[in-house]
Amino acid sequence: MKLPGPDHPITIDRNPRRVRVVFNGHVVADTTNALTLKESTLAPVQYIPRADARMEFFQRSSHASHCPYKGDAAYFSLRVGDRVSANAVWTYEHPYPAMVQIAGRLAFYRERVDAVEESDAGPESS
């Protein structure tokens, strides 16, 4: 386990914007409760509560990975209609203590979904 620090900074902040994830013409996640994780030089990642995801489109995968800063990640594939995106979603179900804020939340590979949209509108407006 490594701790974030000056040589590898990680910040987690509440995203005040609405975040929607679209795949094969369907909104698979829609939240105003996303957390934005910024890690070193990597692109920011939105972590979305499972309660705000349409879990009927998610299929647990056998794929797994490990991050020395966050812990072990589990994966989901997305299946909407006849389209599948393998291992498009990851989650840290039991992250290291420094990353406890992202526990159980879902993150999406932007290149494996159609869109990750951010807007100032709340989920009640379209």
What was the pLDDT predicted at 125?
46
| Domain limits for position 24 | 12-119
Q: Which of these, 32, 48, 38, lies nearest to 11 by C-alpha position?
A: 38
CATH number at residue 65: 2.170.150.40
pLDDT at 126: 44
Say if 7 falls within a structural domain. Answer: no
100 in any annotated domain: yes
Q: Is residue 69 included in any domain, yes or no?
A: yes
> What is the model's pLDDT at position 72?
98
Asked whether residue 125 is assigned to any structural domain, the reply reads no
Pairing between β-strand 35-39 and β-strand 26-31 as defined by DSSP bridges: unpaired
Number of folded domains in the chain?
1
Tell me whether residue 5 is in a domain.
no
DSSP string, the chain: ----BTTB-EEEEE--SEEEEEETTEEEEEES--EEEEETTSPPEEEB-GGGB-GGGEEEEEEEEEETTTEEEEEEEEEETTEEEEEEEEEBSS--GGGGGGBT-BEE-GGGSSEEEEESS-TT--
pTM greater than 0.85 (yes/no): yes
Question: Is 80 domain-assigned?
Answer: yes
Q: Is the residue at 76 inside a domain?
A: yes
What residues in the chain have per-residue pLDDT under 50?
125-126
Would residue 39 count as lying in a domain? Answer: yes
Residue 124: its pLDDT value, please?
A: 53
